[in-house]
Structure 1
Amino acid sequence: MMLFLVPQFVVAETADSLRQKIEEANIQKQKLQEEQIKLQKGLDILNNQGKTLQGTVKSLDATRKKLETDIKVTKSKINGAELNIKSLENSMTEKERDIDTHQKAISMSIQKLASYDSKSMIADLLTYKKISEVWHDRSALGDLQDGLGEEIAFLRATKNALEIERDKKEKTKKELQNFNTELGGQKKVVEVTQANQTALLIQTKNKEAEYQKMLSENIANQKKFESDLFNFESQLKLVLDPNLIPEASPAVLAWPLEKIRVTQMFGATVDAKRLYTSQSHSGVDFAASVGSAVLSVKDGVVTGSGNTDLSKSCKSYGRWLLVRHDNGLSSFYSHLSNSLVTVGQKVSTGQIIGYSGGAIGGNGSGYSTGPHLHFGLYVTQAVSVELYSNSINCKNVYIPISKAGPAGYLDPLAYLPAL
């Protein structure tokens, strides 16, 4: 009897210990998330101030602190997932033992029923001295049948519960894998942010005048790139099949960020007329501090990725991703500080595919003059990732090209959830 009780006691003790650790991990995660929110609010204030060298350096410092807290939050999620997996494994072990016990009990009951079935009533009358003993034995048979039914019911319930826990374990393992990928990406963004700050101070010689000069150059480069691309794409005359373009409707796509604030709309806006020779903005800009998680807006496949900053003469999208969806749309994400996916990889709605960037002078920022996410939407039949050979400054880089000219671009807000 003691041999049977000891394992149960040990497992129960481990389960209690794990429950306590899970509770402590959740409390720690909550505290870190509160700190995360506080740091983000301070960072938003800095990012909304006028563009100065001192302000940008302060923003980068605050960004790094916030990213370090992001890493702590992710680590706490990893710890919680690992503890949940251990707890599920313990519970599954108990259920597997219960299943074995039920199966043995059912087997014994079936054997007893078989022995009863092999004897006739006449045989029982000849075996027992009293008729009352025969009825008692037959009553025991009924009890045995009832007990067998209960054991079978318990077995089914335990097997169902075990299957649910197996599914939950697999889901938690997948979450753990995603958390580890996220952690690696966040660490990379911290490294990039530190390198960007160092590079910015070197390039500007820590002088405000040099910073303002860089800012002006980025705006000029932005106008030049957009003008050249607009003129080039306007010469392309692919005729689109309207049947392959989904009807504009809210929530066809999910948001590309957890927190949404639009800073520039699509099309011929006041800012577009000021910034672009084409007088039209090809996407939507969202406010996003460096390192904000960028999410896939729908299930799809990554069909393009690149970083135009790798060509020193090219000031363009910076680090970008293109995802093809099965509804005739392709989503575009640019000015990223880091990307987590590769061409050919399948992605799901809400999956973290990269991290926002855009800090001036940062690797992957392109011509951006401040942290944000540029989100674009193409008609899939129109877009093609090609070497931009017609360009002078960007002839050695690959970017998405609309073979249908301006008609290949769609207003993302027509397909995203209502603001």
Structure 2
Amino acid sequence: MRHSVIFIFIASLSLGAFLPLRAAPIEDLKQKIEDKAKSILELEAAIAEYTKEVRAANAEAKSLSGAVQVLDSTRKKLAADIKLTEAKIASAELKIEEIEGSMSDVEKEMLRNQAGIMTTLKTIDVSDELSMVEAVFGYDSLSDFWGDRESLYTVQASLSKSLAELKQNKEHLASLREKSLGQKKDLSLLATEIGDRKKIVEQNKNEKNSLLTQTKNKESAYKKILDEKIALREAFRKELLQFESDLQIAIDPSKLPSAGKGVLSWPLETVRITQYFGKTEFATAHAALYSGNGHNGIDLGAPVGTKIFSAADGVVEGVGDTDLVCPSASYGKWVLVRHGNGLSTLYAHLSVISVKAGDSVARGQTVGYSGNTGYSTGPHLHFTVYASEGVKILSRKSLVCGGTYIMPIADLKAYLNPLSYI
């Protein structure tokens, strides 16, 4: 009856090939993922329009009504930012579900491979235990014997095929697991991002309420506040310049990278330079704001809530908020990253800080979101590049502000033109 065992085995192989997989659910998930991708594109287009609206409002923000319009336009963009992040979270969850479904199917297929291999090995083992004479007398006729021998060759060929399929399925499963881990990492980052974006929305709401309360909805009161901010900024900048001018920190030029593109990356996705480094036309026209020394970085126009990225791999040297001691006078919320190439970078006027001192960051990793904190005439990122040897985070008492602030302070020689390295 050995030939019936082999026949049953071959039949089981054929049956295994037709066992149904989860085709319908997978197709449903693919359609949902495709629909979510369309929603994401629509939201991105809406955000682009809101960004234009915010930019246009900023150009008219020299009055109280203009400032309120900026905040209202920003609020609409921030709401769309949250919807976009929620859509990305939903998309990531669907992709994880799809991947895990595929993993389940592959694991089932591997079990079939393994079961088939075990059955094949047992069949071959039984055949090997019998001599040719024993094998012949085990059949009703010689034709049955030769037919079963041919079937055994088929079994051996199936074994080779099953082993190859098992190897392929193992590789496929490893690839799916890697994709799943990547999607779960993305999901974790998105969960953090939506928390940050909700903070920004709350800040926007509080800023509008504070503005209307302080000004009592009067243009004259708003103008007075602006004049006071400018005066405080000028006094604080002079105080800081005096201290930085007295610093004498040795800076070894050989420890700096050669100027050239790619040493640093742009700290945001869409680049729009609103002020360059050094004695620019604006810095010269407003010499009091810079004490005649020019602009110590570059300004990049960015609506509130724009992701800000680390310009290179590095370690977060420190974070802070000068508004806690000296509101509207300096950097506001800032992050300083020290890189391994002799450079350090500063990201200022942030709305939310996403890192903490001591964190290792990769090039392109989010360190915060653009804002309008500190002394800022409109939402933007202030980006400074230093020779690392010449910059330190110091705690200093301010006579102007009447408190002790913490911020990066540098020898004037340490300020470098960011465009020399991007």
TM-score normalised over the length of structure 2: 0.89
Query: Is contact 1:60-1:193 (8 Å) kept?
Result: yes
Matching residue within 366, 370, 377 for 2:374: 366
AA of the residue aligned to 1:398: I
Counterpart of 2:56? 45
Amino acid at match of 1:66: K
The worse-fitting range, judged by mean Cα deviation, of 377-386 and 52-61 is 377-386
Distance 1:391 1:123, change over 3 A: farther
Aligned length: 405
**Alignment partner of 2:109 out of 98, 101, 125:** 98
Partner of 1:297: 311
Q: Structure 2 vs 1, CA of residues 276 and 312 (structure 1 numbering), >3 Å: closer, same or farther? A: closer
Per-residue Cα deviation, 1:177-205 (whole angstroms, up to 9, x for no partner) = 11111111111001001111111122223
Task: Say whether residues 1:207 and 2:218 are aligned partners.
Answer: yes
Cα deviation for residue 13 of structure 1 reads 3.0
Q: Which amino acid aligns with 1:293?
A: K
Quote how far apart the aligned CAs of 1:140 are: 2.9
- SS where residue 345 of structure 2 aligns? strand
- For structure 2, the 5+ residue unaligned runs are 1-11
**Which residue in 2 is equivalent to 1:332?**
346
For residue 340 of structure 1, report the CA deviation from its aligned partner: 1.6
The superposition leaves residues 269-293 of structure 1 with CA deviations (integer Å, 9 ceiling, x where unpaired) of 2222323114221111111122222
| Equivalent AA in structure 2 for residue 387 of structure 1 | S
Mapped to 2, the partners of 1:394 and 1:282 lie a distance apart of 25
Separation (CA, whole Å) in 1 of partners of 2:246 and 2:129: 92
1:209 shift after superposition: 2.2
What does residue 320 of structure 1 align with? 334
Change (3 A) 1:328 1:308: same
* Conserved? CA contact 1:232–1:390, under 8 Å: no
Contact 2:61 2:70 in 1 (8 A): no
Q: What is the 5 A alignment of 1:15-414? A: 15-49=26-60, 51-121=62-132, 123-124=134-135, 135-273=146-284, 274=286, 275-312=289-326, 315-358=329-372, 365-389=373-397, 392-393=400-401, 395-402=403-410, 405-414=411-420
Distance 1:6 1:49, change over 3 A: farther
Displacement, 1:338?
1.2
Q: Which range is displaced more, 339-348 or 85-94?
A: 339-348
> In structure 2, what is the Cα distance between the partners aligned to 1:313 and 1:194?
18
Q: Contact 1:39–1:62 at 8 Å: present in 2 too?
A: yes
CA drift at 1:131: 5.9
Residues of 1 paired with 2:398 and 2:259: CA distance? 33
Q: Which segments of 5 or more consecutive residues in structure 1 lack a partner in the other structure? A: 359-364
Tell me if structure 2 keeps the 8 A contact 1:314–1:394: no
Q: Supply the AA of the counterpart residue of 1:414.
A: S
Q: Which amino acid aligns with 1:15?
A: I
Query: 1:410 and 1:350 mapped to 2: Cα distance?
Result: 21
Contact 1:387 1:395 in 2 (8 A): no
| Aligned AA (2:340) | D
1:33 Cα deviation after fit: 1.8
Q: Say if 1:341 and 1:6 are closer, same or farther in 2 by CA, change over 3 A.
A: farther
Quote the Cα distance in structure 2 between the aligned partners of 1:59 and 1:262: 20
Residues 129-158 of structure 1 show CA distances to partners (whole Å, capped at 9, x for unaligned) of 766555444433322221111101111111
Change (3 A) 1:113 1:326: farther
Please tell me the root mean square deviation across aligned C-alpha atoms, in Å.
2.4
CA shift, 1:109, in A, is 1.3
**Matched-pair identity in %:** 40
User: One-letter code of the match for 2:183?
Assistant: T
Q: Is the 8 A contact 1:218 1:368 kept in 2?
A: no
Secondary structure of 1:387 counterpart: strand
Distance in 2 (alpha carbons) for counterparts of 1:390 and 1:343: 23
Tell me the CA shift for residue 8 of structure 1.
Answer: 4.3
Give 1:163 deviation, angstroms.
Answer: 1.1
1: distance between equivalents of 2:366 and 2:327? 30
Separation in 2, partners of 1:349, 1:134: 70
SS at match of 2:404: coil
Deviation at 1:295, TM superposition (A): 1.7
SS at match of 1:389: strand
Taking structure 1 as the reference length, the TM-score comes to 0.90
Call closer, same or farther: CA 1:134–1:342 in 2, change over 3 Å.
Answer: same
Farther-moved stretch of structure 1 (198-207 vs 111-120): 111-120
